[in-house]
Amino acid sequence: MKKLILLSSLLVITNFIKAEIKPCISINTDNVQLVLKVKEDGRLYQTYLGEKLNDKVNLNNLYMPRGTVSSVCTNGNEIYPVMGTEDYFDPALEVRHSDGNPTSFLKYDSHTEKSIEGGKETIIFLKDYLYPVNVNIHYVAYPEEDIIKQWTEIFHDESEPILLNRYASSMLYLESDDYYLTEFSGNWAKEMHMSESPLTYGKKVIDSKLGTRTAMLTQPFFELSLGNPIQENSGETILGTLGWTGNFSFTFEVDNNNQLRIISGINPSASAYLLEKGEKFVTPEFIFTFSPEGVGQASRNFQKWALKHSLYKGEEDRLTLLNNWENTFFDFDEEKLTELFGEAKDLGVDMFLLDDGWFGNQYPRSGDNAGLGDWEVTNSKLPNGIPYLVKKAKDTGVEFGIWIEPEMVNPKSELAEQHPEWIFKIPDREPYYFRNQLVLDLTNPEVQDFVFGIVDTLMTNNPGLNYFKWDCNSPITNIYSQYLKDRQGNLYVDYVRGLYNVLDRIKEKYPDLEMMLCSGGGGRCDFEALKYFTEFWCSDNTDPIERLYIQWGFSQFMPSKSMCAHVTNWNKDASVKFRVDVAFPCKLGFDIDLKGMDKEDRQYCTNLVKEYNRLKPVIYSPDLYRLVSPYETKHCVLERVSETKDHAILAIYDMHPDFNEQLLPTRLQGLDPDAEYKIEEICLMPGEKSNFTFDGRVFSGDYLMKVGLNLIGGKDMDSHIVELTKI
């Protein structure tokens, strides 16, 4: 027995000595590390993922153990496993070569490392040794924000096209006794509903096959907690997302050794992609962070990174606005709109946003069943056109923004009559409709020109226009492209690429333009789209109670200035103050009949807009502390702290407290313990005084974080905004 142990230790040692000559690659941020190692077989394996290791650790010694070597699975942890190897779980890549062979083996060839703005990029070059197929794996690590993103390039030199049956962006491995997965599912008006479940042997897949309105049922985000259910301030936590405005897929597979494999990428379902010789298939970015201190820190990492490196105009200001959708729906004319410009001005917001219903002549858009596609102003409704409205708004002192839904068409439209070949429709089959509309075929460059032209024409005719709300109310239906002919497997991928092509052209020609991403509410929201959009519409559901959950969900990844929140008449049982206070810590807007409000409520709104403008720097800070969860209590408390820790705001919501509920103090977080803070309740109703005993007093950061304040109360749908200023 002793001999056996000695022999196996010797083997291990010899292996290490041999292994030392093979490259070991570290992808790391200030606090997170991913280590990759070329092993004896020349293939590349993940040997570590977790908290950054002390510099003294010899990375060559790392070996993510795979339990006992089983007879079915003698290998594992390959960073980009391919169909055909001895690893019998789902591969990241599956290629059918031009001769019909469905197997590949990728070996490490070389790698490069270089500094790029804000981080470091590592590119690893892998090659099949039998077929001329190349795979380049890219990593970018952002040290300060602890974010790593990863994507893959696939190309080949085979004589005929190859078929990509799977083409993940990333494959990661984790080891723990238990795994808890949080997903964000829902439906129209129920976006981002969070639910957690343990992962056990086998697969759990979160994916979308909806194409355009891709996140209507589930969003491209996940959270994983190792060992225990997820917590705000403790526990090893991973947050991941895919930057792709189309079908996505995350596969979580616990294998026979209780190791977790995560495959992230475009959903390969119905998307076997035909790749021509010399063409490069670039997968979307998989973006993730690891936090040893729970999801709160992981969210701050994402928000900080998004503001600095991802969100369009992430470090710039945002416009507050008055939208007319919930107020007028399709029923408006010039007089009504110009009146609303005045109301926007009185309210103090920056912009008026004209929503759906302004276009179409032969088939006027007076409901959602006609006119989509005919982007000319309805003369009978708005006889002086958009230029008049833009000028009138500017003369009144507000900017002007406009709604479009440029990827879609109503069958009742001139566009559908003139260009039936531009529409996804299955030959010889009856089409089916989602919201009475069909989807334009953006795989076709002519259609891309048309869609770009909608924005371009509006901008050319109205140089003063500075905002678009870009909507997308239907998933891809009637899945057939006349343009792609026998390459239908490329449809879902090429659609998204066509969309990005249009957005690239818009961004290049109109770099100052700000745009809101909308999709029948929050049915489309990802970090690639947000490279073009300054913000997104979280949901059509603006009931303040339900919004608290939706915003809580999006805040896991998204910075506040990207999350559009509008005050409306949903849930009139809630006071106007409560509804306004719920929108306050996001990107503020109003979509409500202000004239119908009583004087005090209206005054409250005007005062709040002023306070919002004053507090924007702290509201837009990435440092969010979610202190009290609506999922765990009948309350919700959020704290935003400025990056210098000299300013903070608390947004406090008592939703539906229990009778005689025991109300404990809430401990604050993220403050400077040695600093003194003056605390004041702000945003009070006209004439109202604060009932908080701490109002106007000074406390140390240490006290606030260790003892806390009595913030939550027992009144139904009651809210408070509190400001902390370092003195």
Short-list 451, 372, 447, CA closest to 413? 372
Q: At 144, is the secondary structure helix, strand, or coil?
A: coil
- CB of 637 closer than 8 Å to CB of 666: yes
Output 94 or 355, the one with its CB closest to ligand GLA.
355
Q: At what angle do helices 599-619 and 334-347 cross, to 10 degrees?
A: 60
Choose which of 214, 327, 448, 473 interacts with ligand GLA (CB under 6 A).
473
Q: What's the burial of 395, exposed, middle or buried (CB within 10 Å: 0-12/13-18/19+)? A: exposed
Residues 528-567 that bind ligand GLA (CB under 6 A): 537, 540
Q: How far apart are CA 40 and CA 21, in angstroms?
A: 10
Q: Are 412 and 371 in contact (CB under 8 A)?
A: yes
* Contacting residue, 167, 325, 424, 578, with ligand GLA by CB under 6 A: 325
Q: Which stretch binds ligand GLA (CB under 6 A): 114-122, 218-226, 513-521, 569-577?
A: 513-521
Our CB check for ligand GLA shows the closer of 416 and 493 to be 416
Out of 119, 521, 553, 585, point to the residue binding ligand GLA (CB under 6 A).
Answer: 521
Minimum distance of ligand GLA from residue 522's CB (angstroms): 8
Regarding 355 and contact with ligand GLA (CB under 6 A), the answer is: yes
Residue written as tokens 């066509």?
498
- Binding residue for ligand GLA (CB under 6 A) from 191, 207, 399, 471? 471
Nearest of 628, 684, 689 to residue 657 by alpha carbon: 628
Residue 396 CB, shortest distance to ligand GLA, in Å, is 23
Contacts of 552 (CB under 8 A, 6+ apart): 192, 194, 626, 629, 630, 631, 636
Least distance CB 207 / ligand GLA (angstroms): 23
**Which residue's CB atom is positioned nearest to ligand GLA?**
356
374 binds ligand GLA (CB under 6 A): no
Stretch that binds ligand GLA, among 419-427, 480-488, 514-522, 678-686 (CB under 6 A): 514-522
Minimum distance between the CB of residue 413 and ligand GLA, rounded to whole angstroms? 15
In the complex with ligand GLA, which residue's Cβ is closer, 52 or 579?
579
Q: What residues pair up with 51 in beta bridges, in sequence order?
A: 32
Q: For ligand GLA, how many residues bind (rule: CB under 6 A)?
A: 12
Rounded Cα gap, residues 708 and 402, in angstroms: 45
Residue 514: φ, ψ to 5°:
-105, 140
Q: Which is nearer to ligand GLA, 276 or 368 (CB)?
A: 368
Residue 670: how many CA atoms within 13 Å on its side-chain side? 25
Closer of 149 and 469 to ligand GLA (Cβ): 469
- Beta-carbon contacts of 442 under 8 Å, excluding residues fewer than 6 positions away, are 407, 448, 451, 494, 495, 498, 499, 502
Binding piece for ligand GLA, criterion CB under 6 A, among 44-52, 146-154, 424-432, 515-523: 515-523
Q: What are phi and psi of 37, to 5 degrees?
A: -140, 135
Work out whether 520 is an interface residue with ligand GLA (CB under 6 A).
yes
Min dist. Cβ of residue 473 to ligand GLA (A)? 5
Euclidean distance between CA atoms 727 and 723, whole angstroms: 12
Least distance from ligand GLA to the Cβ atom of residue 229, Å: 33
Kindly state whether residue 518 participates in binding ligand GLA, applying the rule CB under 6 A: yes
User: 118: which DSSP letter?
Assistant: T
- Among 356, 543, 601, 718, which residue interacts with ligand GLA (rule: CB under 6 A)? 356
Dist. CA 406–CA 499, nearest whole Å: 10
Which residue number, 246 or 520, has a Cβ lying nearer to ligand GLA?
520
Binding residues for ligand GLA, per CB under 6 A? 325, 355-356, 368, 403, 471, 473, 518, 520-521, 537, 540
